Amino acid sequence: MQTTPTDIAGVSMVGTDRRCDERGGFARWFCDQDLQPELNGARIRQINQSHTRHRGTIRGMHFQYPPHAEKKLIRCLAGKVFDVVVDLRQASPTFLAWRGFELEAGNDRALLIPEGCAHGFQTMSDDVQLLYLHTALYTPEAEGALRYDDPRIGIAWPLPPRNLSPRDLQHPLLQADFSGIKP
């Protein structure tokens, strides 16, 4: 596995080596030893999978507050997504910056997102499946979120937004005095 830093502090693209022959292929999707420099001792505690039926659907932007903050490794199993990270960490040099990354089934890439960043995505195809590896258990009382269309962030979604859940539509805009998530 190879990790490539992105322009958001602490966010990395993780590549895998696929071995192929006439029978098909094999790729290692996760190796704790290979990712420990980025995981800093954290361990995978929960694995989730999502299925999104329709192109253009937006899910997010979600995170968990400390002490239940989590690192996430996101991989696309079917279809294609525009995967978005927003840096909410108070002391980060990329505070309030966002970036979008294309994840697609078969491209052997995953996105590693650090604690203190919000995550969401827009489906670029129908019937998208994502696999999420989390370093913390889901803790409802620690859940945080921000709106997909928050003008302070200004995410440029590639498609017109559709199929947002009522819950995601109710996420608050960042307050003018928001100074970030403390570790």
* Spatial strand order in the sheet of 2-5: 2-5, 12-15, 109-113, 72-78, 128-134, 46-52
148 is catalytic: no
Residue in the block written with tokens 């199993």: 77
Partners of residue 15 on adjacent β-strands: 2, 109
Q: Mark whether 119 is an active-site residue.
A: no
Helix (H) or strand (E) holding 2: strand 2-5
Give the integer Cα–Cα distance in Å for 68 and 108.
29
For residue 158, give the DSSP letter: S
- The catalytic residue among 51, 54, 119, 132 is 132
Active site positions, annotated: 62, 132
